[in-house]
Amino acid sequence: MIDSAKLESIPEEDLYYFNIGEHRRIHRYLGAHHIGAGVRFAVWAPNAREVAVVGSFNNWNVHSHAMRKRGGTGVWERFIPGLHHGIFYKFAVRKADGNWYFKTDPFARFIQNERDRTPILTEDYYEFKNPRPADMDKFTRPLNIFEVHPLSWRYRDGRPMSYLELIDELVPYVKFMEYTHVELMGIMEHPYIPSWGYQVIGFYAPTSRMGTPSEFKQLIDAFHKEGIGVILDTVLVHFPKDDTGLACYDSDHLFECPIPERKVTAWDTFYFDFGRSEVRSFLISNLFYWIEEYSMDGFRFDAGGHFHYYEFKSDEQHKWFIQRYGNCHNPEGFRFMQTMNYSVKQEHPEILLIAEDSTIASGVTKPVEHGGHGFDYKWDLGCTSHMMKYFRAPFDKRCDKYGDLTYPMLYHHTENFLLPLCHDEVVHMKRTMVNKTEDLSDFEKFANLRVMYLFQFGMPHKKLLFMGQEFGQMNEWNEKRELPWESLWDHKHKTMQWYVKRLNEVYRYIPAMHEGDNIENGFEWIECLDYRQNILAFIRYNKDYSQMMVYLLNLSKNYFGDFRLGLPFPGKYHKVIDTDAKEFGGNGHNWVDEYHTEEIPAYHHKHSIQTKLLPLHGLLFKSVDILR
């Protein structure tokens, strides 16, 4: 017989590991939990004079259900019999000033966002019917991510689609487009939609704007049924100053860094205090919660560079900090980051850990055991930036920016990289992907975009594309509006969508498109110096070098009727992708599919093929029968 009194109180052992920063599942104990014939409430507030549970069950009376403090652990708890799911509640915290403050439960699993951020004790159990997609080699398998902000992806009846509606719309769309993974933005509960979900108040709560926790689990299960992995866009570096959230929870600082000059981020939010053991338990448990309760396949860590490097709102603050401390390194954050990644990989090595790190730090994707940060992939924001410099430049200045396309290959072997064309690139006057180069006709803009995407898929990186860019969205993304789906009635947009689908298929099913991303000599230039004519040509190999894909890109408006491309091996090559094909919105002027090499030197190779190369035109060839 289980002692019910023990169930009503948190075990001492769990409180001990929480206090030393070693608890990986403290969410099972802190917060509100339905146990037996009632609910156990527990909250960490070591600086509070008093704490009480208030809610719809006691008319929000701070004197009705006082909580008791568990010694020196800083944890307060109270078991209230007779309560069930459906109640509204908060913790009333009496601070040193003698005043009571109503605070949201840091471990709340469901928060009524539009009503004072009030937690709701809800039934969130769901039995997953489909396992995660088959575990394969993280580095040789295809990884092609569709980045989605569900609150603005598509509307129904004037509002964002619900989790259950997304099962019928988003899941089949991602499957149709042949993406391997979907990355979901703005899932953790946040009070301010224009923050895109990066100012979180509910780290354990999927946003209630689209439904309940169990309905969100059904959405993830539906993705898994179709073999699609789900990556959660998360931010564990900082949190907003929202009064009802973590900020100043029981004093001037609890979750936030106590050192004034290290407290506030460049976004005017608070840095987490990574040096505090209980905060480390809170954050690491958060990852295990989403992995084990929601069957997540991976995480993309927003502002990942801030784990180990402070940034500030002004140059003056930055200079002052450098003068005082000598550098902007965050040693506590660095150690936490290593512990976090090591913990996840120790128990769940299949989980993808992806860092958005804009710093020049080395070892981001090196294992923790070897002194690295411990992530699997790093967003190559440098490569994205160089790409955008080229494509945003006036067309007649492209030759001056040619090196921006080739430079990233000088360092690509230093990390496991993912090349993102993400949400940040289509906001704040940066222009959408199809409008990056302004001084082009509409036909030329779409031709230009097709070549840009072919270049992205040729780079030895994993891939990511933000929603709407797959069909050439014309206006910048607005998080308060749905995507312009009506544009798909236009031939240019519909054929662009078809082109991206075809490119995704080729990437997914042809090994040389993805297996050689992280192997020595998996990438080889044929031409990377022709800045006058803006010609690029290169080769991608599969992991045993038995298969090769050849890329030929004309980023100029020049026409080459008999362009000769040198190749390292003689034989037969099949054209897999032609960006000018009519099915993709082009003119269809190059109708040859099979090419046989001739013993005519070109581009430092003895053998070559001859092809027609049109303005803003890209060709992708696959080796079929070659002699080595």
Q: What is the DSSP string of 293-318?
A: HH---EEEETTGGGGTB---SSHHHH
Distance separating alpha carbons of residues 488 and 473, to the nearest angstrom: 10
pLDDT of 522 strictly over 90: yes
What are residue 623's DSSP bridge partners? Answer: 573
The reply to whether the predicted model has a pTM over 0.75 is yes
Tell me which of 3-12, 26-35, 125-134, 171-180 is least confident. Answer: 3-12
Tell me which of 86-95, 213-222, 256-265 is least confident. Answer: 256-265
Q: What angle do CA 166, 172, 177 make, to 5 degrees?
A: 120
Q: How confident is the model at residue 2 (pLDDT cuts 50, 70, 90)?
A: very low
Distance separating alpha carbons of residues 175 and 169, to the nearest angstrom: 10
Q: Among positive and negative, which fits the CA dihedral 314, 316, 317, 323? A: positive
| 238: its two tokens | 């900082």
**Average of per-residue pLDDT across 395-420:** 95
Q: What is the pLDDT of residue 123?
A: 85
SS3 574: strand
**Cβ pair 289, 281 in contact under 8 A:** no
Q: What is the pLDDT of residue 410?
A: 93
Q: Domains in the chain and their CATH numbers?
A: 4-103 (2.60.40.10), 144-244+301-513 (3.20.20.80), 523-626 (2.60.40.1180)
Q: Mean pLDDT score of the chain, rounded to an integer? A: 94
| 22: its two tokens | 């070693």
Q: How confident is the model at residue 358 (pLDDT cuts 50, 70, 90)?
A: confident
Q: What is the pLDDT of residue 518?
A: 87
Exposed, middle or buried by CB within 10 Å (0-12, 13-18, 19+), for 604? exposed
Q: How confident is the model at residue 576 (pLDDT cuts 50, 70, 90)?
A: very high
Tell me which of 236-250, 317-331, 579-593, 603-617 is least confident. Answer: 317-331
Q: Among positive and negative, which fits the CA dihedral 288, 289, 293, 297? A: negative
pLDDT of 113 strictly over 80: no
Backbone angles phi, psi at 403, to 5 degrees: -65, -20
Name the percent of the chain lying above pLDDT 90.
86
CA-wise closest residue to 352 among 157, 177, 144: 144
Q: What is the pLDDT of residue 338?
A: 97
Q: What is the pLDDT of residue 6?
A: 56
- End-to-end alpha carbon distance in the chain: 74
How many CB atoms are closer than 10 A to CB 493?
22
Q: What is the pLDDT of residue 605?
A: 95
**Average of per-residue pLDDT across 337-352:** 97
Q: What is the pLDDT of residue 73?
A: 97
Q: What is the pLDDT of residue 4?
A: 46
The amino acid occupying position 44 is W
Pairing of β 560-567 and β 155-156: unpaired
Beta-carbon-side half-sphere exposure of residue 258 (alpha carbons within 13 Å): 7
State the DSSP H helix or E strand holding residue 12, giving kind and residue range, or none if neither: helix 12-19
Q: Give the residue numbers annotated as catalytic, written as ranges.
A: 302, 356
